[in-house]
Amino acid sequence: MSLIRRHIPPQLVVFDVDGTLHDTFRWWAPVIRAGLQRFAEQRRIDIPMPTDEAAEAVVGMRDAGVWGPFLPEAHKHLWQELRSVVVPMEVETISSGTDYLFAGVRELLPHLRRLGVRVALASNCRTQYMAAVQQGQGLAKLSDWQFCLDSPGVADKRDMLRLAQEAAGAERVVMVGDREPDFDAARALGWPFVWRRNHRCDLSRGEAVWEGEPDHLLSILGLPGIS
């Protein structure tokens, strides 16, 4: 029996946030460019502005992996200072009242919970950003547990998955994500991984590929569709 077959229907689904539930790409590139411009002026250094493609390539990574690529080699050690400039701009954007969740997410998560499937979030971000996503985009009300890099007992995404499983008391669990850290965390724990297809990486070697429609994911998970 395949790994995913042993885990469906799941008792718990853990979702990555950015790029999986939250369409970060609708706002991230202009925000990081504006933040870089502000940071460059404050520091009086020359920072090339990234293309949309280069900006989007870091979504889903963590800490220096997000901020370092935008800084010249001699200034990469300033990534935390860059983050402190940009994160408030991110928070303002996702708290502005605009719905940035992917189409169908607001129907998918409550449907899972009505079916008795618990829902957890696992994001490679820090508290300030995670709180804004939870409140500004309403994900706190749509999920049972939310974990980020600042959560107690968390050093990496693998810890987030482990803590979610412990909180749910679940044996049948599935991870849904879009980037390599999601896949690596699921593999480390022996969980099946469902990849939300995107052009930033290729994780089709996971157990299943989700094209983005809620009913498609529900079918993968062996659960009834919404409609």
pLDDT in 10s for each residue of the chain, 227 residues: 489 999 999 999 999 999 999 999 999 999 999 999 999 999 999 999 999 999 999 999 999 999 999 999 999 999 999 999 999 999 999 999 999 999 999 999 999 999 999 999 999 999 999 999 999 999 999 999 999 999 999 999 999 999 999 999 999 999 999 999 999 999 999 999 999 999 999 999 999 999 999 999 999 999 999 97
Identify the pLDDT of residue 2: 84
**Rounded to an integer, what distance in angstroms lies between the CA atom of residue 35 and that of residue 87?**
9
Contacts of residue 28, Cβ cutoff 8 Å, sequence gap at least 6: 55, 56, 59, 90
Q: Using the 8-state DSSP alphabet, how is residue 116 labeled?
A: T
**Rounded to an integer, what distance in angstroms lies between the CA atom of residue 14 and that of residue 117?**
10
**Rounded to an integer, what distance in angstroms lies between the CA atom of residue 87 and that of residue 95?**
12
Query: Which long-range contacts link 128-137 to residues 24+ away (Cβ below 8 Å)?
Result: 128/87, 128/88, 128/91, 129/87, 129/90, 129/91, 130/17, 132/90, 132/91, 132/94, 132/95, 133/17, 133/22, 133/94, 135/95, 136/91, 136/94, 136/95, 136/96, 137/22, 137/94, 137/99, 137/100, 137/101
Identify the pLDDT of residue 44: 97
Identify the pLDDT of residue 108: 98
- What type of residue sits at position 15? F
**Rounded to an integer, what distance in angstroms lies between the CA atom of residue 182 and that of residue 134?**
19
**Rounded to an integer, what distance in angstroms lies between the CA atom of residue 77 and that of residue 43?**
13
Identify the pLDDT of residue 199: 94
Interval 116-148: pLDDT, tens: 999 999 999 999 999 999 999 999 999 999 999
- Check if the beta carbon of residue 221 is closer than 8 Å to that of residue 109: no
Closest CA to 61 of 13, 24, 33: 24
Identify the pLDDT of residue 227: 77
Following DSSP, what letter does each residue of 138-180 receive, concatenated?
A: -HHHH-SEEE-TTSTT-SSHHHHHHHHHHHHT-SSEEEEESSH
**Rounded to an integer, what distance in angstroms lies between the CA atom of residue 34 and that of residue 28?**
10
CB atoms within 10 A of CB 72: 12
